[in-house]
A and B are shown apart, each in its own frame.
Chain A
Amino acid sequence: MDIVVCMKQVPDLVEELELNDEGTGLNRDYLKLVVNEFDDWALEQALLLKEQNGGTVTCLALDTPEVDTTLFTCLAKGADKAIKIEGDFVGGATSHQAAKLFAETIKTMPHDLILTGVQSVEDLDGQNAVLLATYLGIPHVSVVTGVAVNGKVATVRKEYAGGMLAEFEVDLPAVLGIQAAPQAPRYAPISKVRAMMKEKKINQVTPTDGQVDAGVRIRRLFKPESGRHAEMIEGDANAVAERVVGILKEKALVK
């Protein structure tokens, strides 16, 4: 079974997000990118399936800054191949663009199952898994927290609200939007990632037919102007604790 995992680099939310001069996008000059956390869960699910059923895992990503580290980390964790898709992604890529490029690339390689994160913090124009499946014309299930494969069929669990699960059988090839895997994403030690950089190669592809316009124009990107921002409690830990106890007493929440 050949599994493909699509990975995206997204802005690190731990850092301050700066806007561009027009206020319509991020200033990407010094933007720190990290792998989309749900893509990491998708990779974990793929590696677990490979351990159970055999086969291969290939990681696929757009050529955005720091993507080499992400792809070598994939290899260090146990993926067999890593491919980066060349192109101009200086201003980022919309979800529609990324999905189209993933689709064009996947068409040219063996694929029984495609896994990717359920969403990312950046997908204003929708989530990758379903866009990708629709461009490929194959079945999809998003918000998946469990996958088992038996021949040409996968049994998957999709999570609804309140912890309710729906179980589906899906004909392969298919795309699954992964929310979580049975175990947290494994860790690859830096030494192993470095070894991969010496031993292995990242393949590069340039799809010829990957143009799509998401058709969404951002008028303005802004920090939420909340009418209800919290009243901030300042001071050292003891002062803060005193004040909180005061508030709780006032509301009869500590007796």
Chain B
Amino acid sequence: MIKNQDIIIVMVRSFIPSRELVEGYELGRPFKIELPRGITLGELAQTVLSKNIDQLGIMAVNGEGAKKNLVLSPGDKVDLYALLDGG
């Protein structure tokens, strides 16, 4: 059984379509997600994006660029951006 202290809640905003249905997910809108404590940014991206992980470009935590091995903290705000193209 996972105890409450083993769970953290972070806010995620993804600009990449999510193939698997993640509860609360809406493209470009922040949503809350519960994750095991100690999870890294890269693991979170994999969870949220699933097979669309190859569309991932840069990531930010609390507005700052971040690398995938960063361990997330409760309340972090995560942004997942697609590879920057034209437009």
- Specify whether A and B are partners: no
Interface residues, chain A, CB within 8 Å of chain B?
none
Give the interface of B toward A (CB within 8 A).
none
